[in-house]
A and B are shown apart, each in its own frame.
Chain A
Amino acid sequence: MSSIPDISLILLKGLKVTLIVLVLSMMLSTIIALVAGLSRVSNNRLLTGFTKFYVEIFRGTSLIVQLFWFSYALPGLFNIHLGSDIWVAVLAISLNYGAYMSEIVRGAILSVPPGQTEASIALNLSRFQRMRHIIIPQAIRMMLPEYGNYLIQILKATSLVSLIGLTDFLYYGNIYRSTHLTEAPTVYILILIFYFLLALPLIGFTRKMEKVAKKGVVHG
Protein backbone atom coordinates (compact mmCIF):
# COMPACT_ATOMS: atom_id res chain seq x y z
CA MET A 1 0.00 0.00 0.00
CA SER A 2 1.79 3.09 -1.15
CA SER A 3 0.94 6.53 0.13
CA ILE A 4 -0.55 9.58 -1.52
CA PRO A 5 2.85 11.28 -2.14
CA ASP A 6 4.14 8.17 -3.91
CA ILE A 7 1.13 7.99 -6.22
CA SER A 8 1.34 11.75 -6.82
CA LEU A 9 4.95 11.39 -7.96
CA ILE A 10 3.99 8.68 -10.43
CA LEU A 11 1.10 10.75 -11.81
CA LEU A 12 3.19 13.92 -12.04
CA LYS A 13 5.35 12.21 -14.66
CA GLY A 14 2.42 13.06 -16.94
CA LEU A 15 2.39 16.75 -16.05
CA LYS A 16 4.82 17.64 -18.83
CA VAL A 17 2.67 16.20 -21.63
CA THR A 18 -0.53 17.71 -20.21
CA LEU A 19 1.10 21.15 -19.96
CA ILE A 20 2.66 21.00 -23.43
CA VAL A 21 -0.63 19.98 -25.05
CA LEU A 22 -2.51 22.60 -23.01
CA VAL A 23 -0.23 25.54 -23.82
CA LEU A 24 0.18 24.67 -27.51
CA SER A 25 -3.58 24.10 -27.94
CA MET A 26 -4.40 27.37 -26.20
CA MET A 27 -2.08 29.31 -28.51
CA LEU A 28 -3.04 27.57 -31.74
CA SER A 29 -6.79 27.65 -31.05
CA THR A 30 -6.58 31.38 -30.24
CA ILE A 31 -4.89 32.06 -33.56
CA ILE A 32 -7.40 29.89 -35.44
CA ALA A 33 -10.31 31.58 -33.62
CA LEU A 34 -9.09 35.08 -34.50
CA VAL A 35 -8.44 34.25 -38.15
CA ALA A 36 -11.70 32.32 -38.58
CA GLY A 37 -13.73 34.87 -36.62
CA LEU A 38 -12.43 37.76 -38.71
CA SER A 39 -12.98 35.79 -41.92
CA ARG A 40 -16.60 35.24 -40.92
CA VAL A 41 -17.23 38.99 -40.86
CA SER A 42 -15.25 39.79 -44.02
CA ASN A 43 -16.85 40.90 -47.28
CA ASN A 44 -15.35 38.06 -49.28
CA ARG A 45 -18.16 35.55 -49.93
CA LEU A 46 -15.77 32.71 -50.69
CA LEU A 47 -13.83 33.27 -47.47
CA THR A 48 -16.92 33.50 -45.25
CA GLY A 49 -18.42 30.43 -46.94
CA PHE A 50 -15.30 28.37 -46.46
CA THR A 51 -14.90 29.42 -42.82
CA LYS A 52 -18.55 28.69 -42.09
CA PHE A 53 -18.07 25.22 -43.57
CA TYR A 54 -15.01 24.61 -41.37
CA VAL A 55 -16.74 25.90 -38.24
CA GLU A 56 -19.88 23.79 -38.77
CA ILE A 57 -17.92 20.62 -39.52
CA PHE A 58 -15.84 20.91 -36.38
CA ARG A 59 -18.64 22.07 -34.13
CA GLY A 60 -21.02 19.45 -35.48
CA THR A 61 -18.85 16.44 -34.77
CA SER A 62 -17.46 15.26 -31.51
CA LEU A 63 -13.90 16.12 -30.37
CA ILE A 64 -13.11 12.55 -29.38
CA VAL A 65 -14.16 11.34 -32.85
CA GLN A 66 -12.00 14.04 -34.45
CA LEU A 67 -9.05 13.05 -32.30
CA PHE A 68 -9.27 9.40 -33.38
CA TRP A 69 -9.92 10.41 -36.97
CA PHE A 70 -6.85 12.62 -37.08
CA SER A 71 -4.63 10.08 -35.44
CA TYR A 72 -5.56 7.44 -38.05
CA ALA A 73 -6.26 9.56 -41.11
CA LEU A 74 -3.28 11.91 -41.05
CA PRO A 75 -0.57 9.26 -41.33
CA GLY A 76 -2.70 6.65 -43.13
CA LEU A 77 -4.81 8.54 -45.62
CA PHE A 78 -2.88 11.73 -46.25
CA ASN A 79 0.57 10.40 -45.41
CA ILE A 80 1.23 13.37 -43.15
CA HIS A 81 3.62 12.58 -40.32
CA LEU A 82 3.76 15.28 -37.69
CA GLY A 83 6.65 13.63 -35.86
CA SER A 84 4.80 13.19 -32.60
CA ASP A 85 1.28 12.35 -31.52
CA ILE A 86 1.44 15.50 -29.40
CA TRP A 87 0.96 17.49 -32.59
CA VAL A 88 -1.96 15.33 -33.68
CA ALA A 89 -3.63 16.03 -30.33
CA VAL A 90 -2.84 19.74 -30.47
CA LEU A 91 -4.16 19.96 -34.03
CA ALA A 92 -7.44 18.17 -33.22
CA ILE A 93 -8.09 20.14 -30.03
CA SER A 94 -7.16 23.47 -31.64
CA LEU A 95 -9.25 22.96 -34.76
CA ASN A 96 -12.23 21.94 -32.59
CA TYR A 97 -12.01 24.75 -30.05
CA GLY A 98 -10.82 27.25 -32.66
CA ALA A 99 -14.15 26.65 -34.39
CA TYR A 100 -16.13 27.24 -31.18
CA MET A 101 -14.07 30.27 -30.22
CA SER A 102 -14.33 31.86 -33.66
CA GLU A 103 -18.04 32.21 -32.91
CA ILE A 104 -17.22 34.39 -29.88
CA VAL A 105 -14.93 36.54 -32.02
CA ARG A 106 -17.64 36.91 -34.63
CA GLY A 107 -20.34 37.58 -32.03
CA ALA A 108 -18.25 40.21 -30.25
CA ILE A 109 -17.38 42.04 -33.47
CA LEU A 110 -21.01 42.06 -34.58
CA SER A 111 -22.13 43.30 -31.16
CA VAL A 112 -20.12 46.53 -31.41
CA PRO A 113 -22.85 49.14 -32.01
CA PRO A 114 -23.20 50.15 -35.70
CA GLY A 115 -22.77 53.81 -34.64
CA GLN A 116 -19.11 53.04 -34.02
CA THR A 117 -18.66 51.82 -37.60
CA GLU A 118 -20.55 54.81 -38.95
CA ALA A 119 -18.48 57.22 -36.88
CA SER A 120 -15.23 55.70 -38.08
CA ILE A 121 -16.40 55.93 -41.69
CA ALA A 122 -17.30 59.57 -41.04
CA LEU A 123 -13.79 60.08 -39.63
CA ASN A 124 -12.41 58.73 -42.91
CA LEU A 125 -10.66 55.76 -41.35
CA SER A 126 -9.73 52.93 -43.69
CA ARG A 127 -11.36 49.54 -43.20
CA PHE A 128 -8.19 48.24 -41.57
CA GLN A 129 -7.87 51.26 -39.25
CA ARG A 130 -11.52 50.91 -38.29
CA MET A 131 -11.02 47.30 -37.29
CA ARG A 132 -7.66 47.88 -35.61
CA HIS A 133 -8.48 51.02 -33.61
CA ILE A 134 -12.25 51.10 -33.15
CA ILE A 135 -13.97 47.72 -33.45
CA ILE A 136 -11.44 45.20 -32.10
CA PRO A 137 -10.48 47.09 -28.90
CA GLN A 138 -14.16 47.19 -27.97
CA ALA A 139 -14.86 43.64 -29.09
CA ILE A 140 -11.96 42.07 -27.19
CA ARG A 141 -13.25 42.93 -23.74
CA MET A 142 -16.57 41.31 -24.64
CA MET A 143 -14.80 38.17 -25.81
CA LEU A 144 -12.61 37.66 -22.76
CA PRO A 145 -15.04 36.05 -20.26
CA GLU A 146 -16.21 33.48 -22.82
CA TYR A 147 -12.61 33.01 -23.91
CA GLY A 148 -11.69 32.13 -20.33
CA ASN A 149 -14.48 29.57 -20.23
CA TYR A 150 -13.17 27.95 -23.39
CA LEU A 151 -9.65 27.79 -21.94
CA ILE A 152 -11.10 25.68 -19.12
CA GLN A 153 -12.83 23.50 -21.73
CA ILE A 154 -9.48 23.06 -23.51
CA LEU A 155 -7.87 22.02 -20.23
CA LYS A 156 -10.60 19.41 -19.78
CA ALA A 157 -10.15 18.26 -23.37
CA THR A 158 -6.43 17.56 -22.83
CA SER A 159 -7.45 14.52 -20.76
CA LEU A 160 -8.50 12.86 -24.03
CA VAL A 161 -4.93 12.64 -25.33
CA SER A 162 -4.24 9.52 -23.28
CA LEU A 163 -6.70 7.75 -25.58
CA ILE A 164 -4.30 8.10 -28.52
CA GLY A 165 -1.40 6.93 -26.40
CA LEU A 166 0.14 10.14 -25.08
CA THR A 167 1.64 9.86 -21.60
CA ASP A 168 -0.35 12.40 -19.57
CA PHE A 169 -1.74 12.19 -15.98
CA LEU A 170 -4.50 9.85 -16.99
CA TYR A 171 -2.16 7.52 -18.86
CA TYR A 172 0.04 6.99 -15.80
CA GLY A 173 -3.04 6.82 -13.60
CA ASN A 174 -4.61 4.06 -15.70
CA ILE A 175 -1.38 2.04 -15.74
CA TYR A 176 -1.01 2.37 -11.97
CA ARG A 177 -4.65 1.47 -11.43
CA SER A 178 -4.38 -1.68 -13.53
CA THR A 179 -1.80 -3.10 -11.12
CA HIS A 180 -3.15 -1.60 -7.87
CA LEU A 181 -6.90 -2.07 -8.18
CA THR A 182 -7.76 -1.14 -4.59
CA GLU A 183 -6.08 2.25 -4.90
CA ALA A 184 -8.17 3.37 -7.85
CA PRO A 185 -10.12 5.97 -5.80
CA THR A 186 -6.89 7.67 -4.63
CA VAL A 187 -5.50 7.67 -8.16
CA TYR A 188 -8.51 9.28 -9.81
CA ILE A 189 -9.17 11.76 -7.00
CA LEU A 190 -5.55 12.90 -7.25
CA ILE A 191 -5.83 13.30 -11.04
CA LEU A 192 -9.02 15.32 -10.59
CA ILE A 193 -7.28 17.52 -8.00
CA PHE A 194 -4.33 18.10 -10.34
CA TYR A 195 -6.68 19.17 -13.10
CA PHE A 196 -8.54 21.43 -10.69
CA LEU A 197 -5.28 23.06 -9.59
CA LEU A 198 -4.47 23.74 -13.24
CA ALA A 199 -7.99 25.10 -13.75
CA LEU A 200 -7.88 27.50 -10.79
CA PRO A 201 -5.83 30.23 -12.51
CA LEU A 202 -8.13 29.95 -15.54
CA ILE A 203 -11.23 30.24 -13.33
CA GLY A 204 -9.66 33.30 -11.69
CA PHE A 205 -8.91 34.80 -15.11
CA THR A 206 -12.49 34.22 -16.28
CA ARG A 207 -13.99 35.86 -13.17
CA LYS A 208 -11.65 38.83 -13.51
CA MET A 209 -12.52 39.25 -17.18
CA GLU A 210 -16.23 39.15 -16.37
CA LYS A 211 -15.64 42.22 -14.21
CA VAL A 212 -13.51 43.89 -16.88
CA ALA A 213 -16.19 43.30 -19.51
CA LYS A 214 -18.85 44.90 -17.34
CA LYS A 215 -16.83 47.90 -16.22
CA GLY A 216 -17.34 51.30 -17.80
CA VAL A 217 -19.34 50.13 -20.79
CA VAL A 218 -22.17 52.34 -21.93
CA HIS A 219 -25.08 50.12 -22.83
CA GLY A 220 -27.69 50.93 -25.41
Chain B
Amino acid sequence: MTWSWEVFIETIPLIFKGLWITLGLTIACYLFAMIAGFFWVFMSRIPIKPVNWLFRWIAEFIRSTPPLVQLFFIYYAWPVVPVIGVTLNPFVAAILGLGIHFSTYTSEVYRSGIESVDKGQWEASTALNLSTAQKWRYIILPQAIPPTIPMLGNYLIIMFKEVPLASTIGVVAMLHLANDYGAQYYKYVEPLTVVALFFLLLSYPSALLISRLEKKYNRRFDKKTATL
Protein backbone atom coordinates (compact mmCIF):
# COMPACT_ATOMS: atom_id res chain seq x y z
CA MET B 1 0.00 0.00 0.00
CA THR B 2 1.46 3.33 -1.01
CA TRP B 3 0.35 6.88 -0.40
CA SER B 4 -1.78 8.20 -3.25
CA TRP B 5 -2.42 11.93 -3.63
CA GLU B 6 -5.23 11.15 -6.05
CA VAL B 7 -7.17 9.25 -3.41
CA PHE B 8 -6.36 11.98 -0.91
CA ILE B 9 -7.84 14.70 -3.15
CA GLU B 10 -10.76 12.51 -4.13
CA THR B 11 -11.83 11.85 -0.53
CA ILE B 12 -11.78 15.51 0.57
CA PRO B 13 -15.30 16.36 -0.75
CA LEU B 14 -16.61 13.03 0.55
CA ILE B 15 -15.31 13.60 4.10
CA PHE B 16 -16.39 17.25 3.95
CA LYS B 17 -20.01 16.07 3.70
CA GLY B 18 -19.50 14.25 6.99
CA LEU B 19 -18.03 17.36 8.60
CA TRP B 20 -21.45 18.96 8.88
CA ILE B 21 -22.87 15.92 10.62
CA THR B 22 -19.92 15.84 13.00
CA LEU B 23 -20.36 19.54 13.75
CA GLY B 24 -24.12 19.23 14.18
CA LEU B 25 -23.72 16.28 16.50
CA THR B 26 -21.04 18.12 18.48
CA ILE B 27 -23.34 21.06 19.05
CA ALA B 28 -26.31 18.87 19.94
CA CYS B 29 -24.28 16.80 22.43
CA TYR B 30 -22.75 19.93 23.88
CA LEU B 31 -26.08 21.69 24.43
CA PHE B 32 -27.38 18.55 26.10
CA ALA B 33 -24.29 18.38 28.35
CA MET B 34 -24.58 22.09 29.24
CA ILE B 35 -28.18 21.72 30.33
CA ALA B 36 -27.80 18.34 32.01
CA GLY B 37 -24.81 19.70 33.93
CA PHE B 38 -27.20 21.85 35.95
CA PHE B 39 -29.03 18.69 37.00
CA TRP B 40 -25.96 17.40 38.90
CA VAL B 41 -25.35 20.82 40.47
CA PHE B 42 -28.97 20.94 41.58
CA MET B 43 -28.79 17.40 43.00
CA SER B 44 -25.60 18.12 44.90
CA ARG B 45 -27.26 21.13 46.55
CA ILE B 46 -30.16 19.12 48.01
CA PRO B 47 -29.55 19.37 51.74
CA ILE B 48 -30.05 15.64 52.42
CA LYS B 49 -26.73 13.84 52.95
CA PRO B 50 -27.54 10.35 51.50
CA VAL B 51 -29.12 11.84 48.35
CA ASN B 52 -26.12 14.07 47.93
CA TRP B 53 -23.73 11.20 48.39
CA LEU B 54 -25.65 8.96 45.98
CA PHE B 55 -25.66 11.52 43.18
CA ARG B 56 -22.03 12.36 43.74
CA TRP B 57 -21.09 8.70 43.23
CA ILE B 58 -23.37 8.29 40.22
CA ALA B 59 -21.65 11.27 38.62
CA GLU B 60 -18.24 9.88 39.57
CA PHE B 61 -19.22 6.52 38.06
CA ILE B 62 -20.29 8.09 34.77
CA ARG B 63 -17.23 10.32 34.67
CA SER B 64 -14.66 7.58 35.23
CA THR B 65 -16.03 4.87 32.93
CA PRO B 66 -15.49 4.85 29.15
CA PRO B 67 -17.99 6.85 27.06
CA LEU B 68 -17.73 4.17 24.37
CA VAL B 69 -19.21 1.53 26.70
CA GLN B 70 -21.89 3.99 27.78
CA LEU B 71 -22.79 4.56 24.12
CA PHE B 72 -23.08 0.82 23.57
CA PHE B 73 -25.22 0.54 26.68
CA ILE B 74 -27.64 3.18 25.46
CA TYR B 75 -27.75 1.91 21.90
CA TYR B 76 -27.76 -1.88 22.39
CA ALA B 77 -28.90 -2.46 25.96
CA TRP B 78 -31.44 0.27 26.59
CA PRO B 79 -34.02 -1.11 24.07
CA VAL B 80 -34.18 -4.47 25.91
CA VAL B 81 -34.48 -2.98 29.40
CA PRO B 82 -37.96 -3.99 30.62
CA VAL B 83 -40.71 -1.34 30.88
CA ILE B 84 -38.65 1.85 30.32
CA GLY B 85 -36.59 0.62 27.37
CA VAL B 86 -37.07 2.22 23.95
CA THR B 87 -35.21 1.79 20.70
CA LEU B 88 -33.22 4.89 19.83
CA ASN B 89 -31.79 5.88 16.50
CA PRO B 90 -27.97 6.21 16.49
CA PHE B 91 -28.10 10.00 16.43
CA VAL B 92 -30.27 10.28 19.54
CA ALA B 93 -28.28 7.56 21.30
CA ALA B 94 -25.07 9.48 20.63
CA ILE B 95 -26.54 12.74 21.94
CA LEU B 96 -27.75 11.02 25.10
CA GLY B 97 -24.58 8.99 25.63
CA LEU B 98 -22.00 11.71 25.06
CA GLY B 99 -24.29 14.38 26.53
CA ILE B 100 -24.72 12.53 29.81
CA HIS B 101 -21.02 11.65 29.98
CA PHE B 102 -19.93 15.25 29.52
CA SER B 103 -22.65 16.66 31.77
CA THR B 104 -20.65 15.24 34.69
CA TYR B 105 -17.78 17.45 33.54
CA THR B 106 -19.78 20.61 32.90
CA SER B 107 -21.37 20.24 36.34
CA GLU B 108 -17.89 20.38 37.89
CA VAL B 109 -17.23 23.56 35.93
CA TYR B 110 -20.48 25.14 37.16
CA ARG B 111 -19.70 24.02 40.71
CA SER B 112 -16.27 25.65 40.63
CA GLY B 113 -17.84 28.83 39.25
CA ILE B 114 -20.50 28.93 41.95
CA GLU B 115 -17.95 28.23 44.68
CA SER B 116 -15.75 31.06 43.43
CA VAL B 117 -18.49 33.62 44.20
CA ASP B 118 -17.52 35.44 47.36
CA LYS B 119 -19.34 34.42 50.55
CA GLY B 120 -20.21 38.06 51.20
CA GLN B 121 -22.34 38.10 48.04
CA TRP B 122 -24.56 35.34 49.42
CA GLU B 123 -24.86 37.09 52.75
CA ALA B 124 -25.58 40.42 51.11
CA SER B 125 -28.38 38.97 48.97
CA THR B 126 -29.92 37.43 52.07
CA ALA B 127 -29.58 40.75 53.87
CA LEU B 128 -31.30 42.50 50.93
CA ASN B 129 -34.22 40.08 51.33
CA LEU B 130 -33.90 38.65 47.81
CA SER B 131 -35.82 35.46 47.08
CA THR B 132 -33.87 32.31 46.13
CA ALA B 133 -34.74 32.81 42.46
CA GLN B 134 -33.71 36.48 42.52
CA LYS B 135 -30.48 35.64 44.34
CA TRP B 136 -29.45 33.13 41.67
CA ARG B 137 -30.73 35.19 38.75
CA TYR B 138 -29.27 38.57 39.69
CA ILE B 139 -26.38 37.93 42.07
CA ILE B 140 -24.82 34.47 41.90
CA LEU B 141 -25.06 33.27 38.28
CA PRO B 142 -23.94 36.55 36.63
CA GLN B 143 -20.74 36.29 38.67
CA ALA B 144 -20.34 32.51 38.55
CA ILE B 145 -20.76 31.86 34.81
CA PRO B 146 -18.43 34.31 32.97
CA PRO B 147 -15.17 33.03 34.56
CA THR B 148 -16.10 29.50 33.47
CA ILE B 149 -16.55 30.41 29.77
CA PRO B 150 -12.99 29.45 28.73
CA MET B 151 -13.32 26.12 30.56
CA LEU B 152 -16.67 25.46 28.90
CA GLY B 153 -15.08 26.32 25.57
CA ASN B 154 -12.37 23.76 26.21
CA TYR B 155 -15.02 21.13 26.75
CA LEU B 156 -16.61 22.05 23.43
CA ILE B 157 -13.30 21.23 21.71
CA ILE B 158 -12.94 18.01 23.72
CA MET B 159 -16.51 17.08 22.79
CA PHE B 160 -15.74 17.70 19.11
CA LYS B 161 -12.90 15.19 19.33
CA GLU B 162 -15.03 12.60 21.16
CA VAL B 163 -17.90 12.72 18.66
CA PRO B 164 -16.25 10.24 16.22
CA LEU B 165 -17.05 7.59 18.87
CA ALA B 166 -20.59 7.81 17.51
CA SER B 167 -19.42 6.16 14.29
CA THR B 168 -19.20 2.89 16.24
CA ILE B 169 -22.98 2.83 16.66
CA GLY B 170 -23.56 3.82 13.06
CA VAL B 171 -23.71 7.62 12.91
CA VAL B 172 -22.48 8.37 9.41
CA ALA B 173 -20.11 11.27 10.05
CA MET B 174 -16.49 11.86 9.03
CA LEU B 175 -14.89 8.78 10.58
CA HIS B 176 -17.62 6.47 9.38
CA LEU B 177 -17.35 7.78 5.81
CA ALA B 178 -13.59 7.30 5.91
CA ASN B 179 -13.89 3.72 7.16
CA ASP B 180 -16.56 2.96 4.55
CA TYR B 181 -14.35 4.31 1.80
CA GLY B 182 -11.50 2.22 3.17
CA ALA B 183 -13.59 -0.94 3.23
CA GLN B 184 -14.71 -0.35 -0.35
CA TYR B 185 -11.38 0.46 -2.00
CA TYR B 186 -8.95 -0.84 0.65
CA LYS B 187 -7.53 2.66 0.98
CA TYR B 188 -7.71 3.61 4.63
CA VAL B 189 -4.77 5.91 5.27
CA GLU B 190 -5.71 8.72 2.86
CA PRO B 191 -9.33 9.22 3.99
CA LEU B 192 -8.28 8.90 7.65
CA THR B 193 -5.61 11.54 7.08
CA VAL B 194 -8.27 13.83 5.60
CA VAL B 195 -10.42 13.27 8.72
CA ALA B 196 -7.46 14.07 10.97
CA LEU B 197 -6.73 17.24 8.96
CA PHE B 198 -10.31 18.45 9.28
CA PHE B 199 -10.15 17.91 13.02
CA LEU B 200 -6.88 19.78 13.26
CA LEU B 201 -8.10 22.63 11.06
CA LEU B 202 -11.09 23.23 13.30
CA SER B 203 -9.78 22.45 16.75
CA TYR B 204 -6.42 24.23 16.60
CA PRO B 205 -7.79 27.73 15.84
CA SER B 206 -10.55 27.18 18.40
CA ALA B 207 -7.96 26.24 21.01
CA LEU B 208 -6.03 29.44 20.24
CA LEU B 209 -9.23 31.45 20.61
CA ILE B 210 -9.96 29.80 23.96
CA SER B 211 -6.50 30.51 25.32
CA ARG B 212 -6.93 34.16 24.33
CA LEU B 213 -10.27 34.23 26.14
CA GLU B 214 -8.61 32.65 29.14
CA LYS B 215 -5.96 35.36 29.23
CA LYS B 216 -8.60 38.05 28.92
CA TYR B 217 -10.64 36.72 31.84
CA ASN B 218 -7.57 36.10 33.96
CA ARG B 219 -6.41 39.65 33.41
CA ARG B 220 -9.78 40.98 34.42
CA PHE B 221 -9.69 38.76 37.48
CA ASP B 222 -6.21 39.99 38.39
CA LYS B 223 -7.31 43.60 38.09
CA LYS B 224 -10.19 42.94 40.42
CA THR B 225 -7.98 41.34 43.05
CA ALA B 226 -5.39 44.07 42.67
CA THR B 227 -7.86 46.78 43.64
CA LEU B 228 -9.11 44.86 46.67
Residues of A within 8 A of B (CB): 56-57, 59-66, 68-69, 72-73, 76-77, 152, 155-160, 163, 170, 173-174, 177, 181-182, 184-185, 187-189, 191-192, 195-196, 199, 202-203
Q: List 30 A-B contacts (CB under 8 A).
A: A56-B204, A59-B203, A59-B207, A61-B203, A62-B161, A62-B162, A64-B164, A64-B165, A64-B175, A65-B199, A68-B188, A69-B193, A69-B196, A72-B189, A72-B192, A73-B188, A73-B189, A177-B77, A182-B80, A184-B76, A185-B73, A185-B77, A188-B69, A189-B77, A191-B69, A192-B69, A192-B70, A195-B66, A199-B64, A202-B64
Chain B, interface residues (CB within 8 Å), range: 35 or more
Q: Tell yes or no: B182 within 8 A of A by CB.
A: yes
Contact indicator B77/A66 (Cβ below 8 Å): no
Q: What residue in chain A is nearest B67 (Cβ atoms)? A: A156
Nearest 3 interchain pairs by C-beta: A159-B66, A76-B1, A184-B77
Known contacts A60-B207, A65-B164; A192 and B189 CB within 8 A of each other: no
Q: Determine the chain B residues whose CB is within 8 A of the CB of A188 once the complex forms.
A: 69, 72-73, 76-77
Alpha-carbon distance between A79 and B199 when the two chains are bound, in angstroms: 26
CB within 8 Å of A: which residues of B? 1-3, 60-61, 64-70, 72-73, 76-78, 80-81, 161-165, 167-168, 175, 178-179, 182, 188-189, 192-193, 195-196, 199-200, 203-204, 207
Whether A192 touches B61, Cβ cut-off 8 Å, given contacts A62-B162, A68-B175, A159-B69, is: yes
Report B50 CB to chain A, min CB distance, Å: 20
